[in-house]
Amino acid sequence: MTIADLAAHFPALDSQTPVLIAGPTACGKSRLALQIAKTFGGVVINADAIQVYGALQILTARPSMEDERQVQHLLYGHITFDHAYSVGQWLREVTPLLHGGERPIIIGGTGLYFQALTQGLAEIPQISPQIIARSEQVLANAGHTALITELDAATAARIDLHNPMRVQRAWQVLHSTGRGLADWQDATPPPMLRVADSIPIVFNVARDWLNQRIATRFESMIAEGALDEMRALLPVWSPELPCAKAIGARQLVAYLNGETSLETAQYEATIATQQFAKRQRTWFRSKMADWHSYAPSEDAHPMP
């Protein structure tokens, strides 16, 4: 589907209607957002949890400086490498950008951001470090099934019990607030932007096509300076850093520390990215079934 096809399918593109663009990593979201902004107007707003970190522009596949010169981009690279960033913080930052200025084109691969934006976000208090540490200890010693046994019934029936991170989060909320996650979710305020009031687009791409783009893109990242980005972080590097969640960071640090070869680091990072993309595609199919499916041309160049 070309930009002309998209315009024919969505007459509202030539308006101030907000555009939402979701999809797995490396599928071409940034290219589409840039084309829409240049053709129909708008400002591109980040909805990717890892692209907020300024230290890793190349490794996190943020839009290029040339892209940013052509169209205004917001909420990219504005967080330092050592600061945690939450979906609640993102929602607070994106809310004032929804009205009163240029049409927002919100793009990213973090499904929870779109869910919070279009379905509302429960105002759960910040979890204490002590509770987080306790959950980490239980997880390390007994696995996430031990956390499941302590969840309230309503939450256990609602969340994905096969996902250790979701289980751990639910456990933390219950033990920190005394209320189950399901109870907090039931008290969720109205959404800031309803799907019905936007043009919601989700990428639908073939697995093999995407996996090849991921492999090609990581090769490009190495050539463009991803190693230099990680080398600059080595003096302060810790796997506990918030920016350490960037796929490829741990593998490149292992190479820079002489623990593995560059070929192995690149292979492991590519596989990890492909596995992440698979989880993203599964999530989008489950949560965004009512969004408009978009299939780019399969000869498109690898782009973030």
Cα-flanking dihedrals φ and ψ of residue 32, to 5°?
A: -65, -45
Tell me how far CA of residue 285 lies from CA of 50, 57, 83, 279, in angstroms.
Answer: 22, 28, 31, 10
Q: How far apart are CA 102 and CA 44, in angstroms?
A: 10
Query: Does residue 302 lie in a domain region?
Result: no
Neighbouring C-alpha atoms within 13 Å toward the C-beta of 52: 23
Pair 181, 117 in one domain: no
- Convert the pLDDT of each residue in 12-22 to its tens digit: 888 899 999 99
- Convert the pLDDT of each residue in 153-167 to its tens digit: 999 999 999 888 889
Domain count, the chain: 3
Domain containing residue 173: CATH number: 1.10.20.140
Q: Name the residue with tokens 């998209």.
A: 6
pTM: 0.86
What value does the mean pLDDT take over residues 205-220? 95
- Convert the pLDDT of each residue in 119-144 to its tens digit: 999 888 889 889 999 999 999 999 99
Q: How far apart are CA 11 and CA 13, in angstroms?
A: 5
Within 10 angstroms of residue 127's Cβ, the number of other Cβ atoms is 16
Pair 213, 96 in one domain: no
Residue 173 near residue 165 (C-beta atoms within 8 A): no
Query: Does residue 304 lie in a domain region?
Result: no
Query: Does residue 21 lie in a domain region?
Result: yes
Domain containing residue 40: CATH number: 3.40.50.300
Residue 78 C-alpha from the chain's centroid = 15
Query: Does residue 253 lie in a domain region?
Result: yes
Query: Does residue 216 lie in a domain region?
Result: yes
Pair 81, 142 in one domain: no
- Residue 300: left (phi > 0), alpha (psi -120 to 50), or beta? beta
What value does the mean pLDDT take over residues 243-257? 96
> Torsion angle of alpha carbons 254, 259, 263, 266, nearest 10°?
-20
Pair 47, 82 in one domain: yes
Residue type, 36: I
Pair 109, 133 in one domain: no
Strand order in the sheet with 104-108: 73-74, 43-46, 104-108, 19-22, 199-203, 292-294
Query: Does residue 252 lie in a domain region?
Result: yes
Pair 257, 222 in one domain: yes
Domain containing residue 240: CATH number: 1.10.287.890
Pair 199, 211 in one domain: no
Query: Does residue 42 lie in a domain region?
Result: yes
Query: Does residue 303 lie in a domain region?
Result: no
Pair 197, 66 in one domain: yes
Pair 135, 198 in one domain: no
- Convert the pLDDT of each residue in 42-90 to its tens digit: 999 999 999 999 999 999 999 999 999 999 999 999 999 999 899 999 9
Token pair recorded at residue 40: 């129909």
Dihedral sign, Cα of residue 192, residue 194, residue 195, residue 201: negative
Pair 239, 107 in one domain: no
Pair 17, 56 in one domain: yes
Range of the domain at 136: 129-186
SS3 assignment for 113-164: HHHHHHHCCCCCCCCCHHHHHHHHHHHHHHCHHHHHCCCCHHHHHHCCCCCH
Q: How does the average pLDDT of the chain come out, rounded? A: 93
Pair 173, 250 in one domain: no
